[in-house]
Structure 1
Amino acid sequence: MFRRREPVPFAFLADADRFRSNVTPPPRQRSSAGQLAGRWLLGLTIVAGLVGSVILGMPALATPSGTPAEQSQASQGR
């Protein structure tokens, strides 16, 4: 009925952090000039789109300066 408690060797878990493989991965292939140019072009396109959207959106975010006077005159007329 009673289970015997035996120590479980968890030393293999501690060794897993220090394990070094003797198999080296293959070297990374260098990107071609066309791939590098494509990455730069994509990045510049994204940045230009973000800057353009901010520039085009600025007038919509700006509060007009002449409208508060017109609203106050309309409210006084009631």
Structure 2
Amino acid sequence: MFRRREPVPFAFIAEADKYRSNVTPPPRERASTGQLVGRGLVGLTVVAGLVGSLLFGMPALSPDQSPAKSQQSEASDGR
């Protein structure tokens, strides 16, 4: 009824870590000038976007001079 399975030897897994292939991978292709320029422009665009978001976001993060008080003072001065 029950099939008896053979135990799996795990020695081959330990030996696989030591295995080194003698086949070298092909050399990587050098990026063309156009690809390098494109990568540089993409990087520059990302950095410019981050700097721009900081420049536009800093006024929103700074504490206001409470415009509600200035409106109230103008209303009280008008009486």
Identity of aligned residues (%): 64
Write out aligned runs for 1:48-59 (5 A).
48-59=48-59
Matched, 1:17 2:17: yes
Aligned to 1:3: none
The Cα of 1:23 is off from its aligned counterpart by 1.1
Question: TM-score, normalised on structure 1?
Answer: 0.72
Distance (Å, rounded) in 1 between the aligned partners of 2:22 and 2:39: 35
Aligned residues: 72
Structure 1 residue 67, shift from structure 2 partner: 4.2
Structure 2: segments with no counterpart, 5+ residues: 1-5, 74-79
Letter in 1 for 2:20: R
Q: Is the aligned partner of 1:46 residue 2:46?
A: yes
Question: How far did residue 48 of structure 1 move?
Answer: 0.2
User: Which residue in the other structure is 1:34 paired with?
Assistant: 34
Instruction: Using the TM superposition, name which of 58-67 and 31-40 deviates more.
Output: 58-67
Write out per-residue CA displacement over residues 27-46 of structure 1, whole angstroms, 9 at most, x where no aligned residue.
Answer: 00000111001101100000
Tell me, which stretches of 5 or more residues in structure 1 are unaligned?
A: 1-5
TM-score by length of 2: 0.72
> Secondary structure, in 3 states, of the residue corresponding to 1:37?
helix
